[in-house]
Amino acid sequence: MSNVEYIPGGAGQNSTRICQWMLQVPHATTYMGCIGDDEFGRKMTEVANSEGVNVRYQVDASTPTGTCATCIVSSERSLVANLAAANNFKVEHLNLPENLALLHKARVVYCTGFFITVSPASIDTVAKHCAENDKIYAMNLSAPFIVQVPPFKKVLMDAMPYIDFLFGNEIEAAALAASEGWEGVPLDEVAKRLSRMPKANGCRPRTVVFTQGCDPTIVAVGGKVQRHPVMVIAKEAIVDTNGAGDAFVGGFMSQLVCGKDTAECVRAGNYAANTVIQRSGCTFPAKPSFCWN
């Protein structure tokens, strides 16, 4: 097909690219992952660098770069992923002096739930570093299977004491609630219970953020729950919902690193998601039109 688009992807990288786009400060963000020594890997490096992201890929010459085919019919998506090299990231790459230096410089670190299946050792290293140095560590539930498969659920719950910001959508939140035996508990209460789970670092309470598509975003922190309305958009304006959740996190993070309050972080997240769903793939215009407060 002549009209196929090739876009740097992966949930974590999507969020990083969006955060970088919102901030408009070159190399404000760094992303680590694993690619193959091939044309897709080189293209991804080139595009991510051109967008201002400082990519520090581990290169696995024996495995191709991961790919994900997306079929979109009437704005609804279907995905087929070949994780390939993305599945091969090792903590040894994180521990290289030049990469550890970037971790030590970072003030906020974000990890997807998908990464639980790849390198629990890297999650443990980064989460503990953040707790010991009063940095913000954030994670995403990413998919229901993360909490439905016992070994993956254990990695998540082992990381929970270190998580300052936990993200998820309504389907993932319901799956986590079911795995905890909380069937039938409203999502507001689920978010509140998760926010109250023990933390390793007491310098800030845990904030739990659940998106619900076109319904209000739920935010629980400090025993209180707030609902933030999303930006209303006509159904016919939606081109592709792929990457909307990733974009929300990227927008949220762009304000979090600037010290903004949760309401402003959610507003930026909703703006980013609203922008992405009106385009094909996780793409964006040259500059955001977001009004900073």
Catalytic residue numbers, as ranges: 246
CA distance linking residue 189 with residue 117, whole number of Å: 28
Structure tokens at 234: 């006509």
Q: What is the DSSP letter of 87?
A: G
What's the CA dihedral at 172, 118, 221, 215 to 10 degrees? -30
Place of tokens 């967008």: 51
Asked if 53 and 22 count as a contact pair (C-beta separation under 8 A), the reply is no
Radius of gyration of the chain (CA): 18
Q: Would you call 247 exposed, middle or buried from its count of C-beta atoms within 10 A (0-12, 13-18, 19+)?
A: buried
| DSSP string for 250-289 | HHHHHHHTTT--HHHHHHHHHHHHHHHTTSSSS---SS--
CA distance linking residue 12 with residue 9, whole number of Å: 8
